[in-house]
Structure 1
Amino acid sequence: MTSPDAVTTPLRTVSDWFKSSFSTTSAQCVEVRFHLDSVLIRDSKYLRDPANAPAAQPVITVAAREWHVFLDNVVSNETESADTILAVEYMDGGRVRLRSGDRTTLTFSQGEWSAFLSGVKAQEFSLVRSH
């Protein structure tokens, strides 16, 4: 994603929740939010069930300094790295499960993950842009 020698420009430190431009629906996607020194990830499917309380929605928090490692792992299909506390588990049927160090899990369909991966490759989820 970014090389150590790359000149970078900060894109943002705070954002609203957003999804990849490659996602075809707003109800089934990986959603990301930049918040100061953290990046938050959630699954938009959770709120489709009216029985689910919005305040209880599972959210994975990644330190901003570890975010680029996670994105690099996503692109290279690596499942875990000693450099990050977020594991990526590839499951049957193309589903993908994210698992944080505190055991929070989010499971995405093949289509959801494919749209997210395309967004990662297009640098839609980058905290910095290489020049």
Structure 2
Amino acid sequence: MSNSPKINDSTWTKSTFSDHGNACVEVRIHNDTVLIRDSKFAGDPSLQPIIAVPVALWSDFLSTVSDDSSGAGRTELGIPRVEHDPATGTTTLIDAVETTLVYTAEEWRAFLDGVRHDQFALA
């Protein structure tokens, strides 16, 4: 059972397991894609890196991240590659055009906890 609203097109959504929203994986729906961004980005909002996953592949992406295996993803289909760096504890998402989002271990853990609690299902 979910303990937060599902993702939708009106607002960016983060896991309720995020540390008071200070830094987290954020997602929202836009047309036929689910957008992913990093809340730590501090630059010009028009330059913020965002990865788009087709709505039709969103559940496949969530399955990929739930498997928690490094290198997983199908960028040619629109599912970002997931790379874990054991030395730094970071997790990086990389899309087909090499857009990258780097998350701390805590941010990624909060996102995975949200995925496991069905917080990122489509509305």
TM-score (norm: length of structure 2): 0.84
Query: Residues 26 and 38 of structure 2 are in contact (CA less than 8 Å); yes or no, is this contact kept in structure 1?
Result: yes
Displacement of 1:85: 3.2
Preserved CA contact (<8 Å) 2:83 2:91: yes
Match of 1:63 in 2: 54
State the match for 1:120 in structure 2. 115
Runs of 5+ consecutive residues of structure 2 not aligned to the other structure: 1-5
Give the conservation status (yes or no) of the 8 Å contact 2:90–2:102: yes
Which amino acid is 1:76 matched to?
A: D
Say if 2:24 and 2:40, in contact at 8 Å, map to a contact too: yes
Matched AA of 2:62:
L
Q: Can you list the C-alpha shifts for 1:66-120, whole angstroms capped at 9, x where unaligned? A: 1111100111113324465310000123210000011100000000000000000
Greater share of residues in helix: 1
Deviation of 1:24 (Å)? 1.1
Q: Which amino acid aligns with 1:53?
A: D
Moved over 3 A (4+): 81-85
The match for 1:96 is: 91
What count of residue pairs does the alignment treat as equivalent?
A: 114
1:31 to partner: Cα distance: 0.6
Deviation of 1:13 after TM superposition, in Å, equals 5.2
Does structure 2 conserve the Cα–Cα contact (< 8 Å) formed by 1:69 and 1:84? no
CA distance in 1, matches of 2:83, 2:117: 22
- The partner residue of 1:86 within 80, 89, 94 is 80
Give % identity.
40
Name which one, 1 or 2, has greater alpha-carbon Rg.
Answer: 1
Q: Give 1:14's aligned residue.
A: 9
Question: Which residue number in structure 2 is paired with residue 45 of structure 1?
Answer: 40
The gaps in structure 1 that reach 5 residues or longer are: 1-10
